[in-house]
């Protein structure tokens, strides 16, 4: 019954954002996040929202998929906003009614939280939608590689990460087929009653775990059969250097982050 | 319980880059008590078709009627649907999860409103049908069995609900020859007792032997639909569509090419044997 793609799933494309190097994109995201958490004013959020809109536009991704999980959290956002509004600074409340003490500071604080989480979600969504999972793990490997000199097994970490990420679609697919099999024999996942919903989790979770363990087992055997060893040095993959457009994106994001930190 | 599909289409992930059309305006009618074999190459829409009939997917267009009622109607009772239709998916052994075999097989019966005795009887019957000794297995963990046994346990879990329509997706893949024959015989028995059977398989031999009607899909559309003998008699067409004709039909074709007079609609092993023995008596 579920015909929705998971949010943030990679969508192949050839936009300006798609073509950026994955490492540059991750670093840009970190810089943008720095800008987001250093924003304290509403115009600041507006600038960042406009920038995010520009990113979505450039990436050619549909607004619906870019907003993805953020849109699904709208009730959460609303509740956070209301709670902040009513309980944040009761001393300076506009009115006082029962336990509710809404204040201007509360409203501002609510906007902070909601805007930050929203921007964070959408920006990281754009990253994962425009970056192939393998490029992402490659970039993480490059980011971690300096730790090699202090004895961290970065090859292993990168391998673990890439295996984990590659298995997400497989496990999602498996979850879907298990859900269908159990639905067909009478499990009620879509029941409005909470107790039934909770009870329906077990027939889903047990098989998924079993399947995941089985897959892990098979994969480790397959890797060993093809000569994967952890005790020998592996050939290192060569990554192309950052290009001009990557440097430009990095500079732009650095400037933005710096501006927000200074203005603060 | 006739099943009727009227111009059914299904599109996966519409509006995204992953969009793909699995079924395209398919119409099909399955009468009560039929044993229908569904064939087609990988990606032709077979699995989508059975998920639609089982009410696990909603068609993008068209209607699916069970007993004349639209199963995707707001007022249609889904529980009736689940009760009437039993689905054995590919590798059904993954659906086992309970602590004991008896509990797992009885899982589908929870909402039927049966008494404990009725449930136990259904579980016992289903397990015995699949060749298990009820007393010996009922308190064991279903996860400790071998692959083939787990498959049979999972199928018992579907049969326990005594579905009127049984849908199977490649149920014999990976079973050993003995288990395979026993299972296909069980399907015949169920079919004789009135169960409508819809079975997807790549094994032309199994379908030629057991199905009365063959439906072949291609690119989400109905390519061929007819009695088993008729569909399998056209050897050249099967080859052209990239669908194997099965060992019996292949043998018949070779004999015919060598001038032996054997009818082209010889599709079952018994038929082949008697034709050969009749041609060359001892």
Q: What is the per-residue pLDDT for A1?
A: 36
Instruction: State the residue for tokens 């689905």.
Output: B87
Task: Give mean pLDDT, residues B152-175.
Answer: 91
B255 vs B271: CA distance, rounded Å: 14
Interface probe, candidates A8, A181, A217, chain B, greatest B C-beta count within 10 A: A181
Residue B158, number of CB atoms within 10 A of its CB: 26
- The 10s digit of each residue's pLDDT in B13-34 is 887 777 888 899 999 999 999 9
Q: Do B87 and A3 touch (CB under 8 A)?
A: no
Determine the average pLDDT of the residues in B208-223.
92
Tokens of B51: 């998920």
Which chain A residue shows the shortest CA-CA distance from B166? A184
Where are the strands (E) in A209-261, listed by range? none
Render pLDDT for A16-33 as a digit per residue (tens, 0 to 9). 899 999 999 999 999 999
Chain B: residues touching A (Cβ < 8 Å) = 12-18, 51, 54, 56-58, 79, 82-83, 85-87, 89-90, 92, 94-97, 107-111, 143, 157-158, 161
pLDDT of residue A58: 92
Contacts of B13 in chain A (CB under 8 A): 3, 5
Roughly how many angstroms between the first and final C-alpha of chain A, as a whole number? 48
* 3-state secondary structure (DSSP) of residue B272: helix
CB contact under 8 A, A210 and B94: yes
Candidates A61, A132, A184, partner chain B, best to mutate (most B CBs within 10 A): A184
Among candidates B12, B17, B86 on the partner chain, residue whose Cβ is nearest the Cβ of A11:
B17
Which residues partner with B88 through β-bridges?
A: B168
Is B86's CB within 8 Å of A186's CB?
no
pTM across the whole model? 0.77
Q: What is the DSSP string of A127-175?
A: HHHHS-HHHHHHHHHHHHGGGGGGT--HHHHHHHHHHHHHHHHHHHHHH
Closest chain B residue by Cα to residue A6: B13
Query: B159: which 2 tokens?
Result: 């049969």
Exposure string of A73-101, with b = 16+ CB inside 10 Å and e = fewer, is beeebeebbeebbbbbbeeebeeeeeeeb
Nearest partner of B54 among B81, B18, B27, B20, judged by Cα: B81
Rounded mean pLDDT for each run of 10 residues along chain A, 264 residues in total: 63 90 93 91 91 92 84 88 82 74 84 91 92 86 86 82 83 89 84 78 90 91 89 76 91 92 83
Cβ within 8 Å, pair A185-B17: no
> What domains, with CATH codes, occur in chain B?
3-245 (3.40.50.300)
Give the nearest partner residue to A5 out of B18, B56, B89, using CB atoms: B18
Chain position carrying tokens 């409103």: B113
Mean pLDDT of all residues in B65-89: 89
Beta carbons of B12 and A3 less than 8 Å apart: yes
User: How does the average pLDDT of chain B come out, rounded?
Assistant: 90
Residues B93, B106: Cα–Cα separation, whole Å: 15
Nearest to A189 by CA among A197, A180, A181: A197
Minimal C-alpha gap between B164 and chain A (Å): 13
pLDDT of residue A6: 67
Give me the pLDDT at residue A69, please: 78
Sort out which chain B residues have CB atoms less than 8 A from A185's CB and list them. Answer: 82, 86-87, 95, 107-108, 157-158, 161
* Chain A residues interacting with chain B (CB cutoff of 8 angstroms): 1, 3, 5, 11-13, 62, 65, 174, 177-178, 180-188, 202-203, 206-207, 210-211
Which residue of A lies nearest to B96 if distances are taken between CA atoms? A207
High-pLDDT (> 70) share of chain B, %: 100
The predicted structure's pLDDT at residue A2: 43
Q: Give yes or no for a contact between B7 and B13, defined as CB atoms under 8 angstroms apart.
A: no
Distance CA B119, CA B113 (A): 9
Disruptive mutation site among B10, B76, B95, B145 for chain A (greatest number of A CBs within 10 Å): B95
Can you name the residues that pair with B65 across neighbouring β-strands?
A: B4, B70
Hey, what are A250's tokens?
């990095």
Q: Write down the ipTM of this complex.
A: 0.86
A177: nearest CB among B13, B15, B89: B89
The confidence score (pLDDT) of residue A94 equals 76
Question: Which residue is associated with the tokens 């001038």?
Answer: B259
């Amino acid at each position: 019954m579920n015909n929705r793609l998971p949010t943030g799933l990679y969508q192949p494309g050839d936009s300006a954002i798609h073509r950026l190097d994955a490492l540059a994109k991750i670093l840009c995201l970190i810089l943008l996040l720095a800008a987001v958490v250093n924003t304290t004013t509403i115009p600041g959020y507006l600038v960042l929202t406009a920038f995010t809109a520009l990113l979505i536009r450039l990436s050619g991704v549909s607004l619906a998929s870019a907003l993805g999980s953020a849109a699904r959290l709208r009730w959460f956002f609303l509740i956070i906003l209301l709670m902040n509004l009513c309980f944040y600074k009761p001393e300076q409340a506009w009115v006082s009614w029962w336990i509710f003490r809404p204040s201007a500071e509360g409203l501002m604080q609510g906007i902070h939280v909601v805007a930050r989480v929203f921007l964070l979600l959408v920006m990281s969504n754009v990253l994962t939608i425009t970056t192939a999972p393998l490029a992402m793990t490659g970039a993480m490997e490059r980011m971690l590689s300096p730790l090699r000199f202090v004895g961290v097994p970065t090859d292993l970490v990168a391998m673990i990460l890439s295996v984990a990420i590659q298995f997400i679609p497989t496990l999602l697919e498996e979850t879907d087929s298990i859900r269908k099999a159990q639905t067909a024999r009478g499990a009620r996942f879509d029941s409005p009653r909470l107790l039934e919903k909770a009870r329906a989790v077990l027939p889903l979770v047990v098989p998924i775990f079993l399947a995941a363990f089985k897959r892990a087992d098979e994969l480790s055997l397959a890797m060993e059969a093809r000569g994967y060893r952890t005790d020998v040095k592996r050939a290192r993959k060569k990554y192309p250097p950052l290009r001009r457009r990557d440097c430009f994106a990095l500079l732009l994001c650095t400037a933005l982050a710096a501006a927000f930190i200074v203005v603060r | 319980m006739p099943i009727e599909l009227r111009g059914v289409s299904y599109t996966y992930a519409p509006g995204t880059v992953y969009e793909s059309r699995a079924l395209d305006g398919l119409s099909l009618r399955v009468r009560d008590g039929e044993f229908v074999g569904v064939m087609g190459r990988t990606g032709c829409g077979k699995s989508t078709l059975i998920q639609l009939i089982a009410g696990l997917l909603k068609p993008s267009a068209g209607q699916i009627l069970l007993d004349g009622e639209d199963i995707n109607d707001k007022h249609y009772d889904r529980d009736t649907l689940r009760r009437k239709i039993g689905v054995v998916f590919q590798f059904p052994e993954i659906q086992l999860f309970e602590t004991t075999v008896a509990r797992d097989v009885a899982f589908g019966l929870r909402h039927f409103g049966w008494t404990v005795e009725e449930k136990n009887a259904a579980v016992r019957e289903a397990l015995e049908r699949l060749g298990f000794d009820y007393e010996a297995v009922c308190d064991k963990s279903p996860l400790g069995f071998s692959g083939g046994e787990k498959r049979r346990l999972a199928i018992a879990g579907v049969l326990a609900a005594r579905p009127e329509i049984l849908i199977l997706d490649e149920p014999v893949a990976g079973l050993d020859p003995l288990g395979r024959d026993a299972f296909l015989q069980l399907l015949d028995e169920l079919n004789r007792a009135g169960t409508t059977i819809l079975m997807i398989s790549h094994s032309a031999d199994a379908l030629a032997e057991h199905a009365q009607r063959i439906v072949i899909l291609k690119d989400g559309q109905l390519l061929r639909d007819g009695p088993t003998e008729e569909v399998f008699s056209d050897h050249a067409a099967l080859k052209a569509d990239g669908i194997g004709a099965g060992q019996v039909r292949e043998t018949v074709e070779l004999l015919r090419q060598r001038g032996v007079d054997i009818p082209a609609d010889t599709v079952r092993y018994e038929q082949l044997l008697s034709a050969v023995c009749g041609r060359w008596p001892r």
